[in-house]
Structure 1
Amino acid sequence: MTERIFAPLPPAGGGAFARSNWGRAWLKALEDTALDGAQVKAGRRLARTGAVGAVSVRPGRITAVVHDVRADVVVQRLSDADWERLLGLVADRAGHLAALLDRDVPPGLAEDAAASGVELLPGIGDVEPECGCGAWDHCAHTAALCHQVARLLDQDPFVLLLLRGRGEEEILAALRTAGPSTAGVPAREAFALRALTPPLPPLPDGPPPAPAPLPSLTGTEPAPPAGLDAAALEFLAAAAAELARRLLAEAPDAPDLTLRQDTARLAAMAPPAPVTERLARAHGCAPDELARAARAWTHGGPAALAALEDAWSPAEPERLDAELSSALAESPGDGRPRREGNRWHLDGSAELRYGRDGRWWAVRDGELAGPGERDAAVALGLLMT
């Protein structure tokens, strides 16, 4: 038999005793069942003062010691047939299932259950007292216990399901067996179903392999629906697989990409021409500008793209001037570079740029000539080839 023990709660302040729909419904069942309203009020005062000890909750019964008196409240349990209907309802409605997995019992569940013939919320006659004081009706002790349970329902609505006959693990196990369908389910609710799936296997040792070839969406039966760009979808699937491989290989060092960076990354994967045109339109740039960014990406990812596009002022320009002058002294030509921020203009259309990553980047005709280099002389050599 499933049983949960809840430690005594601290005294309650003023205001409403129950905040949740479930707690208020529970207290209404008490008020509808008790014949003496004065005893209900006396029990509320006892509960507010912290007179209720640890509460035992198990299917069909709650128990606690209130002012040295054992108090029990018996709750009508649902039949197996009722539970079968209730769990079938939950399994077929992803919204209810998502809420249960988030340790919440949605108010709509009670209404939907009632429509299916299952009364989840207790009604008149479903909350019966058994008290050591000898009272035959609800007394201050059992009323105090019921008020304490209302506070527990505010914290964990699964308490009501346990009282009705089944615990949380038993319910989730039954839902796993039911195998809920996710067809037509919103993404947020479908994601909540992950708690019903077995854990993923551990990652293998070593770097992840290259993604396997994806199945083609063109020339398939049935044909893709009208308006779906199958080639673009195939490309995005391949790009997502490659990004996942990179994240697995580099995490947690893999940086988050900006929209501009991710656009350049996608363009660098040589997508079909229509996809490239859509990327350029979405980012608001000309196709040749996107192509230049994509070629830069192949030389060094985010750092290379920043070297191509960012203009900024280094903190130690004199030191960088001296480093570049030393590199130029070892190279043919006698041109004196002209500096603008992090860019040194050499002869013609050649430049050296200093990146925020501490590397020198060679640029010719507005294009990166190769990867970044720590040594200015090596970067300068890329312009001589």
Structure 2
Amino acid sequence: MREHDAERTFAALPPAHGRGFAQTWWGRAWLKALEDAALDSQQVKTGRRLARAGGVGAVSVRPGRITAVVQDHDRTTHRADVLLQELSAEQWDRFLDMAVERAGHIAALLDREMPPHLVEDAADAGVELLPGLGDLEPECDCGAWDHCGHTAALCYQMARLLDQDPFVLLLMRGRSEREVLDHLQVRSVSPGEEEPTPSEEAPQEGVDAAEAYASGSILPPLPSAPELPAQPGSSPSLDTETPPAPGVDPAALTFLASRAATEAHRLLAAALAPGHEQEGVEEELTLSQDAVRLAADASEAAIAARLAEGAGRGQEELEIAVRAWRYGGAAALSVLEDEWLPEEEPLARARAALESAWDDDDRPRLRASHNRWTVIGTSTQLRLGRDGRWWPYREEHGHWLPAGPAAHDPATALASADGEA
């Protein structure tokens, strides 16, 4: 991919096989706008076959328009364009004002996610991000006045690009990723308050300024910020001729010292990072959770056994918990252990997303139990976390094991569980 100002060009994607084109809910919403508006469903099917066969060349995306050369099955080529109306300056202002008030929206976009509530909040502000019925306007040199197989193929290919990066949609709506982030940064800076005039200042008690300035030369200079070591410090050697006190395990102490040095190095790196701001204390872990965190870095069997005992788990249970921890820390561990009953509304949205992600013949059948959905006839499962994300699981040797990181879209999580993400 190359990027220049307000245009991005994506190299041709390889042929697509298997499941439906769009894996994310926003990618499917894009295709729904095409499929609902096209007058000739046969042209839509032709476009899907062309895109699936790899007939769409490099895709150029710029404000209001996407363009690609599409090759027919007989190897003739056509230039296809699809137009989408850009947002007005006023609409962009409303969208950016909304987004800057909700930091989670921007974090999701930077993670290449587009949560439904971002689109819903934008709509409440009078800004429609996703295309609706008739919003995707086709232009093709084949002479068709409605969507033809070439423009439909371009739309299907675009759905795959949107799956990877929702900022592509914002570019079509008029602004590049860099422009959006720059405008958000400007809006996030609180305007400085007007300084009071001397007559408005209340009298203050303290050190006289002239006296403080005169004595400044006798004070030591402030220390400079420390430099970040390239590696965490090594733990001291406890291998001595003196036997340890009863109940003291030198190997365990060495391990704990090494982990403390690694954590200190991580915290220092975060504190010295440009633009670092302390936003609060990290959530405190329980004793059992902290034992799992330590076990994720324990290579010696004896230490892992002690941590399993401290966590109140068997060795196999600890290994599964460690696997969950490596995918998502305390949140993933909670999903492994907690079974709870979500509200019906998010479950209904998830069912609709899963049903529309596959072609009719490939659609999975689900058996729901609280926040855990099992795909009938397979060894795959989805689990909903309390933060609204879906976690993929696979059954191996009679145990449900975490199979990948979380995703806001259940179809994406299920693809990860299938090993096809």
When normalised by structure 2's length, the TM-score is: 0.45
Query: If the length of structure 1 is used for normalisation, what is the TM-score?
Result: 0.49
